Amino acid sequence: MTVPRLAPHATTIFAEVSQLATRHDAINLGQGFPDTDGPGSMIEAAVRALREGHNQYPPGPGVTELRHAIADVERASTGLVRDPDSEVLVTVGATEAIAGAVVGLVDDDDEVVVIEPYYDSYAATIAMAGAVRNSARLVLSDGRFRLDVGSLRAAFSPRTRAIIVNTPHNPTGAVLPREDLEEIAALCREFDAIAISDEVYEHLTFDGIEHISIATLPGMAERTLRISSAGKMLNCTGWKVGWVTGPAELVAGVRTAKQYMSFTGATPLQIAVAHALRHEQEWITSLRSGMQDRRDQLATVLEGVGFDLVVAQGTYFVTADPRPLGVTDAAAWCLELPERIGVAAVPFTPFVDTFADEWSHLVRFAYCKRPEVLDEAGRRLQSLTR
């Protein structure tokens, strides 16, 4: 009975793969969540907050101490100066920040540009807003994913209200270089569009590659909403503490929508994340090097088995091409895999639309798992070579 505008988003192959993984007791390298906890002091801060009676609604925009911590950390890492009261909003994960930005700032029939492949919530929230989705795309060039500038120009029009940008990028693991972000910024300025910038993997870049926020490019601070989340930063994806920062008039639009989506998130968890942002920056830095090791561990296995890989520059994910193993329909193959070898991965199908044919052979594996889990996954994957 789902309404027609949401019906195409009703079920995802993610859910299907995860169900199969559970049924066949497979190692789930499909869904991107870590299997270890965040910093101990953060967990203790949450317990303390629960015991000390911080159990009622926080202020609408989020716990004051967290908004101040977000503004301070952002200023230190990007140089952006945001007012914690009017330019920082705490949300129920990055997911709500994205939905709030689209629903609160994009009108019926306005156009929103997305870049394929894209995180699956973008298309669904654009549909909720009754807006029109126009796709640009990434292309593989010299062994890395880059923006296809021609497709980007073609996707913009005078009706474009916003573009959703994601770097470091899920599902590909790409980190967009400055030149690509400059192309996006130039079109935003030309068409007076806003950038909704999903930077949940901002701390997870490897090999010394720098994450650049589009908000820091000329003329962009005043037209960018920068979104991040404690989930990927602090290994607490189940806490759903996210945030958005930007100019007051844009944040006000998100706040208006967010106010009636969830009103507020969980107070004790916001207090604990504030503690972690203040005191656990070293932990956040060490997560990056640990994740790079996990990336290398899984990449070695996958290459040994015979996959073609695109080196992940960041995130939790690596893009694998299973065609050398004789696989042509990646979606069908991912549905067989849990039963066949006890490992789950996801195809690119949920992340693509207009350019689906170009991506239908690719698979995403997550490496945000303990080394021993990746070892066991490696043993199981070996059976593909036989």
Ligand X SMILES: *Cc1c(COP(=O)(O)O)cnc(C)c1O
Q: Is 198 in the site for ligand X (CB under 6 A)?
A: yes
User: How near is the Cβ of 256 to ligand X at its closest, in Å?
Assistant: 19
Choose the stretch contacting ligand X; rule: CB under 6 A; options: 71-79, 88-96, 177-185, 330-338.
88-96
Q: Is 105 in the site for ligand X (CB under 6 A)?
A: no
User: How near is the Cβ of 113 to ligand X at its closest, in Å?
Assistant: 16
Q: Is 62 in the site for ligand X (CB under 6 A)?
A: no
Laid out side by side, the sheet with 363-366 consists of 308-310, 317-321, 363-366, 346-347
Choose the stretch contacting ligand X; rule: CB under 6 A; options: 76-84, 226-234, 339-347, 352-360.
226-234
Radius of gyration of the chain (CA): 20
Q: Is 93 in the site for ligand X (CB under 6 A)?
A: yes
Single residue of 20, 29, 80, 94 touching ligand X by CB under 6 A: 94
What's the rounded Cα separation, in Å, for the pair 357 and 326?
Answer: 18
What's the rounded Cα separation, in Å, for the pair 174 and 315?
Answer: 8
Minimal CB distance residue for ligand X = 93
User: How near is the Cβ of 31 to ligand X at its closest, in Å?
Assistant: 10
Closest CA to 115 of 92, 130, 137: 137
Residues contacting residue 326 through CB under 8 Å, at least 6 positions apart: none
Q: Is 166 in the site for ligand X (CB under 6 A)?
A: yes
User: Which of positions 228-257 make contact with ligand X (CB under 6 A)?
Assistant: 229, 231-232, 237, 240, 242
Query: Can you list the pairs that 296-300 forms with residues at least 24 positions away whose Cβ atoms lie under 8 Å?
Result: 297/367, 297/371, 297/374, 297/375, 297/378, 298/29, 298/365, 298/367, 298/374, 298/377, 298/378, 299/367
User: How near is the Cβ of 282 to ligand X at its closest, in Å?
Assistant: 22
Q: With CB under 6 A, what is the number of residues at the site for ligand X?
A: 14
* Residues within the interface to ligand X (CB under 6 A): 93-95, 119, 166, 170, 198, 200, 229, 231-232, 237, 240, 242
